[in-house]
Structure 1
């Protein structure tokens, strides 16, 4: 009996330790699940849009150098995950290329704002090494490609838009997003606006079931990389990602019937949508811009920001950062292929921020 007594004590101690640890783990799990805003006043976290990630990272780099007392971090996890984290209270700023839907707005505790902070363009990029290019894609043709109804590069409809250029007798491999994405929302919002077949088929959303045998990748960077390594591929990606990777970019037909490339000027015209006045609704989307020189697939990126709550000092710092993004920070957009906000839209966003 004496020989086994120490082992009994060890077992008892082990059980007690496991019970204590289990209680601690359960308590920690409960704390993790609480939808509370991060409390550290010297740390600001943001997450969401991979579309706007390069600009967000630049902003935090510059602002962080000017505010050494702050710890700044951005997670490029896609608009859907960014919204989820904001709703859960695990980040201070959510970044999304798709405005909140009504049921998502209802989940936000307390006052908040959706503020446009930059604009950008979605390019249709492709990989055809032996094609002399550039490639023209009419509106009805690129819709048919993503519907899976035009599945060869030498399709007569593609050839008719590119006279004198030899297209390869090769299958088209579509690349789409597999994560919940504001880029996908903006792209499908455009396709639904110009095609009844798309509107009644795949529809509009941050995540969709891609027709046919589309390849899928995560994030703008993932789609861009997949296009780069896959001959015969085509996909949609933020214009800056396509340019930085040296991808070929198609000229797209706009609402006025002209073929345009994505650049800051055509993007600015697309976001203006033929008007000099800012939209009355700051969450308004522009699915099919008007104007002869407008790029047809444009989107804003919105910052989701809370009003002051139980952490007023922290909230004040978050608002100061967003205010800087809307003002001094706009100068960094163009070099990264984003579209700086027009002054009247910036003023409207600042007024909304000041009302929080």
Structure 2
């Protein structure tokens, strides 16, 4: 009887054990199982755009909106958690993409051909943003501080240390600047904002180009480090005489003053829809180079010189095909249906022709075997 019961128990448990083991192996191989949540990580510059568009996207995909099927041609919808985004900085997001759980990364600078190959990924711009130089100076109402790349470079090189320095006053005739020490604040983590900021300095200052140079994470000659956009905002806002750099929409919402920057034409402009659009006039959006060439601003006198492209990086492997397809539907929503709200946040939607070119690029770059 004992052997009979034991054999009967084995006959019941063994198939169940096999099913459990097979399920675990399948989950390990796919990394996601049947999860429909989209997980992204990366840029803090793009954080408001991603998080607010994610909420809007979840709304239009909701189950209680049956007309959505007829509008979109699909009935896919997110689970209760929707889209999860980790604002860990551009570099952090790119590193997180190696995790099978992460579907996309958001970066304020493009990856190289080698970097894309190493990740097994493709990238494309999804929107435009602007890095603003911000400061904590009590200026007269209606007055805007003017700065250019050589002057800002000297501040971050530690050569210009007070706000009433002749180099700064020469750019601001009629503006009484205080005899106040300058506290230069920079990002301490890998950041696309740093990439855009140091690129601007390198383009306009030979001393900077030949010294610290451009990158998402550099060796700073001087200044105070702050982690993430929120840390930089807090540091500038809490330090009289501070200067820093941050996405312009977040700077405005934080109540920080934004400087007008000298562009390639010698004019001073502030970030905004018109100046950002002027900055990308004539840019090639075809993706023939897999979007590895950084966005370069035009010589238009109206151009804002620290206009940056916001890139989404997604996986190309057929193993993640369904996850990538879900991610692309969300990214298409950001470019096509969330454009007005994006502009309200301080971002600039891609021009319609650019959006069409990007989505055409997806059909070839993300086809299995491409």
Sort the TM-score into its range (normalised by shorter chain): 0.7 to 0.9
> Alpha carbon RMSD of aligned pairs, Å?
2.1
State how 1:345-356 maps to structure 2 within 5 Å. Answer: 345-355=354-364, 356=366
Q: Deviations over 1:72-106 (max 9, x none)?
A: 11111100010001133331011011211344223
Superposed displacement of residue 194, structure 1? 1.6
State how 1:257-336 maps to structure 2 within 5 Å. Answer: 257-272=266-281, 275=282, 278=285, 280-281=288-289, 282-307=291-316, 309-336=318-345
> Is 1:153 aligned with 2:163?
yes
Distance 1:311 1:242, change over 3 A: closer
Aligned structure 1 segments of 4 or more residues deviating by more than 4 angstroms: 34-37
1:87 to 77, 98, 118: 98
Aligned to 1:141: 151
Distance 1:151 1:246, change over 3 A: same
Cα distance in 1 between the residues matched to 2:86 and 2:29: 18
Superposed displacement of residue 258, structure 1? 0.8
Aligned to 1:227: 236
TM-score (norm 2): 0.81
2:184 to 174, 181, 193: 174
TM-score (norm 1): 0.84
1:184 to 194, 197, 221: 194
Aligned to 1:15: none
Aligned to 1:67: 61
Distance 1:256 1:180, change over 3 A: same
Superposed displacement of residue 329, structure 1? 2.4
Does the 8 A contact of 1:35 with 1:87 survive in 2? no
Does the 8 A contact of 1:262 with 1:295 survive in 2? yes
Distance 1:37 1:290, change over 3 A: farther
Does the 8 A contact of 1:151 with 1:172 survive in 2? yes
Cα distance in 1 between the residues matched to 2:324 and 2:117: 21
Distance 1:204 1:283, change over 3 A: same
Aligned to 2:256: 247
Q: Which runs of 5+ in 2 are unaligned?
A: 1-24, 63-76
Superposed displacement of residue 204, structure 1? 1.4
1:54 to 41, 48, 52: 48
Q: Deviations over 1:231-252 (max 9, x none)?
A: 0000111101110011111111
Cα distance in 2 between the residues matched to 1:342 and 1:35: 39
Distance 1:313 1:157, change over 3 A: closer
Superposed displacement of residue 348, structure 1? 1.2
**Corresponding pairs, count:** 319
Distance 1:35 1:184, change over 3 A: farther
